[in-house]
Amino acid sequence: MKRFPPLPALHTFWVTAQCCNFTRAAEQLHITQGAVSRQVAGLESHLGYALFQRQARGLSLTEEGRAWQLCAQQVFGLIGDAVEQVGERHRTLQLKASTCVLRWLLPRLLQWQKERPDVPVELTTTVDYSVDFRREPFDAAVVYAPNAEQPTLARHLFDERLTPVCVPALLGSLRTPQDLQHQVLLHPTRDERDWTLWLKAANTQLSPPTQRHHFETLDLAMTVASQGTGVAIGDSALIGEDLKAGRLAMPFELRVPTGMGYYLVHPPGTEPSVGLIALMDWLVSQAQQSQQ
């Protein structure tokens, strides 16, 4: 059976070979110059040949030393990769998302944890639509932004398309958009711009007094609509789970794009981890499937 060289001595040799100087190697390894010299000499004794030529002006690698330098580079490169990959399995990814995308995102993250328990994800929700990676310690975020101003390094999930949503029990009383005149309209914004955009596209004008309520977020308006309180304007891309469960229904086919979209982003200037790349690829594929 072959006797493998001692790994600590091989690592000391590798560091020394990069600078060909015992003193600088000692500084990098945080040991004494004498310890470096002894470990290299011990490795040479184990191998049976010299790895360095000791000269008055310093060290130079022998032919065998150059061969071992390449081997050590591969060995410690593999060890470094293994440390990163194995360690990554136990690190929880930190993901930020606005509450408006939660209806779509949360069921998929639950499915992800079933399929990939080795890549745990912790979700932080907020009413904020953006992320500042300089101040916020997240690995990735789902942001809501204009399609014309796509964030840097963004992965597109889906575009926002507005359509009225209500409980299935109201479908019989909503034959045409004009029938909305007799319903309570639930607005996700105080300025009512979402309903205004959809009604204009539907070539429909409602006369006052139409009953209405205003909410802080689109998600909250759709939640209230699922309780049968009125008709909300919702994002058709986000309500797939509600449609399957029968909590919500879409009375009309018209879906109006707003020019806004949802994007998956990670901190610029950083290389995503293996686990984060897998999560992002999976979420993008889920978004594509949900749009089919």
Could you say which of 63, 88, 113 is where a domain stops?
88
Residues 167 and 254 in one domain: yes
**Are 193 and 230 in the same domain?**
yes
The separation between CA 214 and the C-alpha centre of its own chain, rounded to angstroms, equals 32
Per the structure block, which two tokens stand in for 275? 């686990």
Number of domains in the chain: 3
Six-digit token string for 115: 């399929």
Whether residues 150 and 271 share a domain: the answer is: yes
Specify the pLDDT at position 181. Answer: 93
**Distance from C-alpha of 218 to C-alpha of 257, rounded to nearest angstrom:** 15
What is the domain extent for residue 13? 7-88
pLDDT on residue 290: 82
Residue at 251 is within a domain: yes
Convert the pLDDT of each residue in 86-140 to its tens digit.
555 557 999 999 888 988 999 999 999 999 999 999 999 887 888 888 889 999 9
Task: Please enumerate in sequence order all residues whose Cβ is within 8 A of that of 63, keeping only pairs 6 or more positions apart, or say none.
Answer: none
pLDDT interval class at 162 (50, 70, 90): very high
Question: Is 1 inside a domain boundary?
Answer: no
State the Rg of the chain over Cα: 31
The reply to whether 220 and 104 lie within a common domain is no
pLDDT in tens, 244-266: 999 999 999 999 999 999 999 99
The answer to the question of residue 2 being in a domain is no
Band of pLDDT at residue 148, cut at 50, 70 and 90 = confident
On whether both 180 and 255 belong to a single domain, the answer is yes
One-letter amino acid at 225 equals: A
Residues with Cβ within 8 Å of 192's Cβ and at least 6 positions away in sequence, in order, are 212, 214
CATH at residue 18: 1.10.10.10
Domain assignment present for residue 132? The answer is: yes
Whole-prediction pTM: 0.67
The CATH number for 271's domain is 3.40.190.10
Is beta strand 155-165 parallel, antiparallel or unpaired with respect to 185-187? unpaired
